[in-house]
């Protein structure tokens, strides 16, 4: 006969049974508490609604207005009427293809424009404004195919007869420009008063526009931006996010700030842009509005912001008033353009202190390239010379040189002190027109002749090539290679950044001496091959870049 097994429960079984008992006990307690709380709350709520007497409560009274201003409101009342809202309309235009395989960019040649810096930082200043500021980059949703694209910006009246200063990127490429005054009614169906462009200066991103008026308009008072100090209070006034008459406050956080970007043609777009930096909130739509000091004077024009969110992150940039005044005075002149002086050299601004020690100078500018037929070339200056003085005054740096030379009249003469091989020399240099100096370089290049036969790389690479024109050979000294005459949109060459007029001197470490050698090399390329081009600039000697990718 089997005997029953009376083995006592194990420790694990006891723990499990106690856990279940404890859990049920807690749940029961919580349920009772919730029910009791609900009953009590219902009783209190009902009591308040039925039995509380509030007849002794006193009504709130709004007091008379008291002036507690720190001065901001008075400044806004003074300046605000002269700040305008600018709307532009632009017919849609085909957008250039921007996709690049691997994000590569074709390095640009040294700046050939007079005394400009050698800017080789990748990027595009217009892209900077479109991505980081708004203005012309804004779109209200009507920018689809066949429709008009609308953009919004700000400006300020400087002449009661209707002359307004704003940013060039606000009105650039606009087919229609409208201005709304602060006193105009907010009528969504009325775009505003039609405006015309008087003149623009892309180098400083300044534009002057005008509206017709029968009565004098309110104007701002221009200040001296040289007197503005880091830490001074400033106000930014404009129309951020289409919110007109918006005012933000902050301080000047830095001065003489540059944004090192280069345009697609290799010419610096920031050479004459030295900004006032501010932490006053600036957002898309503020572009072209005034930056005002505590005296109610305009010390700058809000131009750009640094942001990763399309909104203010406390770093904004304003073009100084002194630069605005100089440019404005030239734009309202008979020719409606800005003329700057140049001696026809190129130089590199950012350089190691070791360069100065090796070449024996502590201040000045070392010449990188001398523009043919420019004032410096005619005066005998050479690459490698160190410019140390202007009319007996020591040159601090490249900015000092550019600011001095660009402000001089075309045709005048300046005495340049320079060092060559450790010896001090002087030269009398005639000031030329900066714009014409650049045009002489780029405008006289012969257009490459059309190829006589189809390029072997047209199908594989998406480019056609031709022999290098004699004028470019003479200018650059290139002894072999081919020049790109066309790039097919969406092709392999387009995606990796090859551009028209670039000169190919080697492919995959094999020299390209002429069209025949080019076709022979390309004929061996196949899908999935890595292809690397050595590219020579058509305007600069010994400026090579390497561009590559994998064939699809």
- Domain end, chosen from 441, 476, 509, is at 441
Q: Give, for 345, the enclosing helix (H) or strand (E).
A: strand 345-347
Task: Determine, yes or no, domain membership for 11.
Answer: no
Q: Give, for 307, the enclosing helix (H) or strand (E).
A: none
Q: Do residues 189 and 298 both lie within one domain?
A: yes
Spatial separation of the C-alpha atoms in residues 401 and 388, rounded to whole Å: 9
Task: Determine, yes or no, domain membership for 54.
Answer: no
- Domain end, chosen from 277, 311, 331, is at 331
Q: Do residues 200 and 267 both lie within one domain?
A: yes
Q: Do residues 276 and 346 both lie within one domain?
A: no
Centroid of chain to Cα 91: 23
Task: Determine, yes or no, domain membership for 33.
Answer: no
**Of 263, 431, 439, which Cα lies nearest the Cα of 340?**
431
The CATH number assigned to the domain holding 519 equals 2.30.42.10
Overall average pLDDT of the 188-196 stretch: 84
Q: For residue 50, give Cα distances in angstroms to 41, 58, 135, 240, 448.
A: 14, 20, 60, 51, 95
**Of 490, 483, 494, 489, which Cα lies nearest the Cα of 549?**
494
Identify the three-state secondary structure at position 475. helix
Q: Give, for 373, the enclosing helix (H) or strand (E).
A: none
Catalytic residue at 287?
yes
- Domain end, chosen from 312, 331, 350, is at 331
Q: Do residues 289 and 312 both lie within one domain?
A: yes
Q: What letter would DSSP give residue 226?
A: G
Spatial separation of the C-alpha atoms in residues 156 and 164, rounded to whole Å: 5
Spatial separation of the C-alpha atoms in residues 321 and 221, rounded to whole Å: 10
Phi, psi (deg, nearest 5) at residue 126:
-65, -40
Is 85 in contact with 244 (CB distance < 8 Å)? yes
Task: Determine, yes or no, domain membership for 37.
Answer: no
Please say if the pLDDT value at position 51 is more than 80: no
Q: Do residues 295 and 246 both lie within one domain?
A: yes
Q: For residue 281, give Cα distances in angstroms to 72, 220, 286, 314, 434.
A: 15, 21, 9, 6, 36
Angle at 112 between CA 111 and CA 118, to 5 degrees: 25
If pLDDT is split at 50, 70 and 90, which confidence band does 3 have?
very low
Average pLDDT, the chain: 77
If pLDDT is split at 50, 70 and 90, which confidence band does 309 have?
low
Give the residues across from 210 on adjacent strands. Answer: 163, 196
Q: Do residues 415 and 498 both lie within one domain?
A: no
Write the DSSP assignment of 64-124 as a string of letters. PP-----SHHHHHHHHGGGEEEEEEEE---PPPP---GGG--PPPPPP-STT-B-------
Which one of the listed residues 116, 172, 203, 205 is annotated catalytic?
A: 205
Spatial separation of the C-alpha atoms in residues 499 and 68, rounded to whole Å: 61
Overall average pLDDT of the 522-528 stretch: 87
Q: What percent of the chain has pLDDT over 90?
A: 31
If pLDDT is split at 50, 70 and 90, which confidence band does 298 have?
very high
Spatial separation of the C-alpha atoms in residues 183 and 125, rounded to whole Å: 34
Which residues make Cβ contacts (< 8 Å) with residue 535, sequence separation at least 6?
Answer: 106, 498, 502, 503, 504, 505, 544, 545, 546, 547
User: Longest C-alpha distance within the chain, in Å?
Assistant: 131
Spatial separation of the C-alpha atoms in residues 241 and 305, rounded to whole Å: 14
pTM for this predicted structure? 0.59
Task: Determine, yes or no, domain membership for 47.
Answer: no
What are the tens digits of pLDDT across the range 365-413?
A: 888 888 888 899 999 999 888 899 999 999 888 888 888 898 899 999 9
What integer pLDDT is reported at residue 142 of this predicted model?
Answer: 43
Centroid of chain to Cα 226: 23
Is 495 in contact with 99 (CB distance < 8 Å)? yes
* Dihedral (Cα; 129, 204, 155, 147), 10-degree rounding: -50
Phi, psi (deg, nearest 5) at residue 329:
-60, -30
**Of 256, 273, 271, which Cα lies nearest the Cα of 438?**
271
Q: For residue 47, give Cα distances in angstroms to 33, 38, 50, 52, 526.
A: 21, 14, 5, 7, 88
Q: Do residues 364 and 239 both lie within one domain?
A: no
Which residues make Cβ contacts (< 8 Å) with residue 373, sequence separation at least 6?
Answer: 344, 440
What are the tens digits of pLDDT across the range 88-138?
A: 887 654 444 444 433 333 333 333 333 443 333 333 333 344 334 444 444
**Of 337, 260, 247, 245, which Cα lies nearest the Cα of 304?**
260
Q: Do residues 324 and 371 both lie within one domain?
A: no
What integer pLDDT is reported at residue 546 of this predicted model?
Answer: 84
What are the tens digits of pLDDT across the range 218-254?
A: 999 999 999 999 999 999 998 888 788 889 999 999 9
3-state secondary structure 265-280: CCCECCCCCCEEEECC
The CATH number assigned to the domain holding 259 equals 2.40.10.120
Q: Do residues 156 and 298 both lie within one domain?
A: yes
Is 489 in contact with 481 (CB distance < 8 Å)? no
If pLDDT is split at 50, 70 and 90, which confidence band does 418 have?
very high
Q: Do residues 162 and 290 both lie within one domain?
A: yes
Is 120 in contact with 102 (CB distance < 8 Å)? no
More confident residue, 285 or 7: 285
Spatial separation of the C-alpha atoms in residues 526 and 523, rounded to whole Å: 8
Catalytic residue at 169?
yes
Q: Do residues 216 and 325 both lie within one domain?
A: yes
Task: Determine, yes or no, domain membership for 270.
Answer: yes
Task: Determine, yes or no, domain membership for 477.
Answer: yes
Spatial separation of the C-alpha atoms in residues 419 and 417, rounded to whole Å: 7
What are the tens digits of pLDDT across the range 56-99?
A: 898 899 888 776 666 888 899 999 999 999 998 876 544 444 44
**Of 191, 223, 193, 196, which Cα lies nearest the Cα of 207?**
196
Which one of the listed residues 239, 287, 312, 326 is annotated catalytic?
A: 287
Q: Do residues 110 and 255 both lie within one domain?
A: yes
Which one of the listed residues 117, 169, 268, 279 is annotated catalytic?
A: 169
If one counts the domains in the chain, the total is 3
Domain that holds residue 164: 72-114+121-331
If pLDDT is split at 50, 70 and 90, which confidence band does 300 have?
very high
Task: Determine, yes or no, domain membership for 531.
Answer: yes
Strands 163-167 and 176-180 turn out to be: unpaired
């Amino acid at each position: 006969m089997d005997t029953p097994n009376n083995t006592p429960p194990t420790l694990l079984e006891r723990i499990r049974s106690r856990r279940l008992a404890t859990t049920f006990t807690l749940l029961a307690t919580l349920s009772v508490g919730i029910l009791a709380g609900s009953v009590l709350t219902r009783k209190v709520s009902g009591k308040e609604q039925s039995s509380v007497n509030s007849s002794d409560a006193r009504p709130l009274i709004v007091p008379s207005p008291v002036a507690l201003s720190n001065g901001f409101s008075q400044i806004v009342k003074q300046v605000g009427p002269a700040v305008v809202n600018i709307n532009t309309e632009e017919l849609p235009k085909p957008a250039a293809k921007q996709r690049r395989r691997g994000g590569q960019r074709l390095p640009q040649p040294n700046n050939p424009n007079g005394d400009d810096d050698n800017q080789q930082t990748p990027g595009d200043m217009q892209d900077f404004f479109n991505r980081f500021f708004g203005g012309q980059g804004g779109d209200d949703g009507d920018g689809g195919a066949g429709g008009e694209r609308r953009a919004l910006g700000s400006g300020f009246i400087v002449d009661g007869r209707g002359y307004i200063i704003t940013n060039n990127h606000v009105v650039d490429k606009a087919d229609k420009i409208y201005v709304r005054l602060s006193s105009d009614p907010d009528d969504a169906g009325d775009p505003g008063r039609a405006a015309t462009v008087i003149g623009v200066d892309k180098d400083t991103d300044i534009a002057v526009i005008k509206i017709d008026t029968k009565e004098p308009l309110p104007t701002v008072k221009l200040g001296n931006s040289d007197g503005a100090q880091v830490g001074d209070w400033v106000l930014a006034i404009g129309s951020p996010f289409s919110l007109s008459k918006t005012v933000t406050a902050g301080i000047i956080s830095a001065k003489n700030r540059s944004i090192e970007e280069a345009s697609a043609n290799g010419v610096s777009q920031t050479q004459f842009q030295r900004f006032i930096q501010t932490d006053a909130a600036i957002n898309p739509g503020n572009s072209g509005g005034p930056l005002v000091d505590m005296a109610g004077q305009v010390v700058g024009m809000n131009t750009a912001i640094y942001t990763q969110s399309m909104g203010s992150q406390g770093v904004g940039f304003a073009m100084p008033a002194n630069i605005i005044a100089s440019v404005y005075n030239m734009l309202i002149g008979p020719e409606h353009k800005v003329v700057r002086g140049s001696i026809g050299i190129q130089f590199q601004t950012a350089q190691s202190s070791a360069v100065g020690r090796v070449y024996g100078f502590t201040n000045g500018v070392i010449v990188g390239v001398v523009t043919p037929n420019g004032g410096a070339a005619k005066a005998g200056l050479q690459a490698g010379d160190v410019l140390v003085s202007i009319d007996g005054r020591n040159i601090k740096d490249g900015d000092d040189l550019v600011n001095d030379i660009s402000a001089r009249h075309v045709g005048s003469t300046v005495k340049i002190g320079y060092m060559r091989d450790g010896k001090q020399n002087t030269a009398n240099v005639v000031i030329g027109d900066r714009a014409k100096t650049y045009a002489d370089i780029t405008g006289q290049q012969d257009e490459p002749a059309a190829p006589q036969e189809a390029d072997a790389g047209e199908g594989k690479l998406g480019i056609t090539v031709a022999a290098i024109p004699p004028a470019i050979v003479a200018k650059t000294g290139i002894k072999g290679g081919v020049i790109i005459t066309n790039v097919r949109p969406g092709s392999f060459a387009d995606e990796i950044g090859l551009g028209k007029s670039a000169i190919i001197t080697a492919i995959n470490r094999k020299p390209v001496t002429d069209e025949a050698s080019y076709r022979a090399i390309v004929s061996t390329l196949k899908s999935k091959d890595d292809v690397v081009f050595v590219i020579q600039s058509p305007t600069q000697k010994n400026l090579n870049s390497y561009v590559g990718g994998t064939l699809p």
